[in-house]
Structure 1
Amino acid sequence: MKKLKSDLIKLIWSLGLRGVADKLHFRYLNKKFEEENAAFVKKYPEFQLPPPELIFDANHNVNWETYRSSGMTDAQKIADLIERYVDGPDAAVFEWGCGPARIIRHLGAKLTRFQKVELTGSDYNAASIQWCNAKLPGIHFLENRLSPPIALNDQQFNFIYAISIFTHLSEKSIHEWLAEMHRLLKDQGYFAFTTHGEKFTFCLSPEQMESFRQGNLVTRDGDIEGKKLFGSFHPKQWVESVVHQIGYKVIHFSPEGFHRQDLWIVQKTDAQVAVE
């Protein structure tokens, strides 16, 4: 079954049909979950729901219950990391690539150890940020571009997280954004992010797999950079080298540690930031 899925993905990509398949999948999911979503609205009438196209753009799903429950679960995972690593009474937290706030909308209620919590979220999708600002008070939301800088202050946060964001960026952009997160972090602050590791290499061509095995970043550009159809695949040794170059030290690495993606936690050091 895994090989069949891999072969199908490769065929769709080779024929240039990924965008068409994506639109058909969106229509299929809307129909599939129509009754479940109607029941969800009755059960949680006060729960603010983003337009389905925003959820699909960010998470490739339109199931309201999945959006809510997975967001709560992932918020707890992020909260556990923040409470483990951040010292002091206050937490200034930034989610880079928040989409329609699946995670960050639940995060404040789960950060119980801190006297003061400030939450900020940004995203490349302007429509998502417009929705977040209109529907979710108490969190600061702003739009970011494909390339930095972002309109935030130096050393503003002691914890930043990005879930499945580097997975859709080029090598140049990854270098630039690692440097930008370094700028935004307070001294000794932490950055948690995910990458496509070994678990996702099944959909690479033999040539791409060979490059990955040699320790090179591999990109598969089936869409414009920054969108979910643009894929990047990150060997462990490549990530280690890049974060060290930018000015971080690796605190924790879990292969397949977050929704099958590799989870990294790095800490800002006093090293000079270097971006080629």
Structure 2
Amino acid sequence: MRPPGNDGVTLRATVKRSLADVGLLEPGRQLRDKLRAITWLPHNRRYLSRAGSNGLPIPPARLRLLTTASPSIEWFMESGRAGADAIRNLLAEHNLLLSRQARLLDFGCGCGRVLRHWAGEGVAVEGCDYNPELIDWCRDRLPFATVATNRLEPPLPYNRAHFDLVYALSVFTHLPEPLQRPWAEELGRVTALGGHLIVSTHGAAYRGALTLDERAHYDAGHLVVKNAAEPGSNRCGVYASPDAVRQTFSPWFMVRAHVPQGASGNPPQDLVLLRRTPTEAAAPKGRPA
């Protein structure tokens, strides 16, 4: 007998495979997204008339959907503000202040959901993303920031120890296991010694989304990955316990704080503060010095 609740999952998977086989899965998703965007138009207009856009352009619904899975302007704006505030608050709790000379990197900046909320703060703001369309939008409309395109695999186009602070919100949550440690090492390369990295993770709050076998794997300190064939997309989900986080980022970073559900801009993800530690490894071959 099949376990209760499996029928719906099996049916959805069968329908997705059938649509993919005839080339209709992606067009179907695009049509669904367009219809969702239309239904949100009245709400978006009301929000803009009430709250405004903080003086910066707002990306179109298609790009908002790519980065937040929602066409809501309110969610795009308020979750981005909450994400930036969560970073500021975590730094303040550990007596870490960004100086006027500080360099900050938004790794996986998308179309500037969090990045836009650093405008006017006096720090050098940079961002990167592997989606060139999102970077083109930021480059044209968020002139206070310097942005660049990266690939799904390292390296980044920055010199060693270039940044004082790097943050990656809802990025490692979508990178399958073969990409996790290479990116941890690369972020270690571009972060100054004594600098900090802040990442969000799918932590214990997501255990309910895991099967019994996946929970056991998670509890044993291993990464759990769903839909690894779609790396970098919202459809690829990665779940990491505190032990798995430490293993992923060692020896390049040391965990200073792990806050359950602390990523208020990406609820209910955890927020992790890591400090760049000394390592003896030289810059990997083929990467910027």
TM-score (norm 2): 0.82
Deviation at 1:37, TM superposition (A): 2.1
Seen in structure 2, the aligned counterparts of structure 1 residues 101 and 12 have a Cα distance that, compared at 3 Å, is farther
Match of 2:130 among 120, 124, 135: 124
Deviation at 1:235, TM superposition (A): 1.9
Whole-Å separation in 2 of the counterparts to 1:231 and 1:79: 26
- Give, in whole Å, the separation in 2 of the partners of 1:184 and 1:59: 27
* 1:254 matches 2:259: yes
- Structure 1 residue aligned with 2:232: 226
SS at match of 1:237: helix
Q: Does 1:272 align with 2:277?
A: no
Name the CA shift for 1:247/1:48 in 2 (closer, same or farther; >3 Å): same
What is the CA–CA distance in structure 2 between the aligned matches of 1:242 and 1:122, rounded to whole Å?
Answer: 21
- List aligned pairs for 1:170-185, cutoff 5 A: 170-185=176-191
Query: Out of 46, 49, 52, which is 2:58 matched to?
Result: 49
Q: AA paired with 2:253?
A: Y
- Deviation at 1:88? 4.6
Q: Which moved more, 1:8-17 or 1:198-207?
A: 8-17
**Residue in structure 2 matching 1:138, options 131, 136, 144:** 144
1:187 aligns with 2:199: no
- Report the AA paired with residue 205 of structure 2: K
The secondary structure found in structure 2 opposite 1:186 is strand
Cα deviation, residue 108, structure 1: 3.1
Aligned counterparts of 1:262 and 1:31: Cα–Cα separation in 2: 32
Is the deviation greater in 13-22 or in 187-196?
Answer: 13-22
Residue 64 of structure 1 aligns with an amino acid whose one-letter code is I
State how many pairs are aligned. 265
Q: After superposing the two structures, state which structure 1 stretch, 33-42 or 162-171, moved more.
A: 33-42
Q: CA separation in 2, counterparts of 1:124 and 1:154?
A: 20
**In 1: Cα distance, 2:198 partner to 2:96 partner:** 11
Structure whose residues are more often strand by fraction:
1
Deviation at 1:163, TM superposition (A): 0.4
Q: Which runs of no fewer than 5 residues in structure 2 stay unpaired?
A: 18-24, 285-289
Equivalent of 1:263 in 225, 246, 271: 271
Choose from 160, 165, 168 the match for 2:166: 160
User: Does the Cα contact within 8 Å between 1:13 and 1:222 map onto a contact in 2?
Assistant: no
Q: Secondary structure at the match of 1:102?
A: coil
The AA in structure 2 aligned to 1:152 is Y
Separation in 1, partners of 2:168, 2:116: 15
**Identical-pair percentage:** 25
Pair 1:100-2:107 in alignment: no
User: In the superposition, relative to structure 1, how do residues 8 and 108 fare at CA in structure 2: closer, same or farther (>3 Å)?
Assistant: farther
SS of match in other structure, 1:256? coil
The alpha carbon displacement at 1:236 in A equals: 1.6
1:14-50 CA deviation, whole Å, 9 max, x = no partner? Answer: 4363966854652442132121223445564864121
Judging changes above 3 Å, is the alpha-carbon distance between structure 1 residues 33 and 88 closer, same or farther for their aligned structure 2 residues? Answer: closer
- TM-score if structure 1 supplies the norm length? 0.85
Question: 1:15 — aligned with what?
Answer: 14
Give yes or no for contact 1:221–1:231 (8 Å, CA) kept in 2: yes
Q: Which 10-residue stretch deviates more, 24-33 or 121-130?
A: 24-33
CA RMSD between the two structures? 2.8
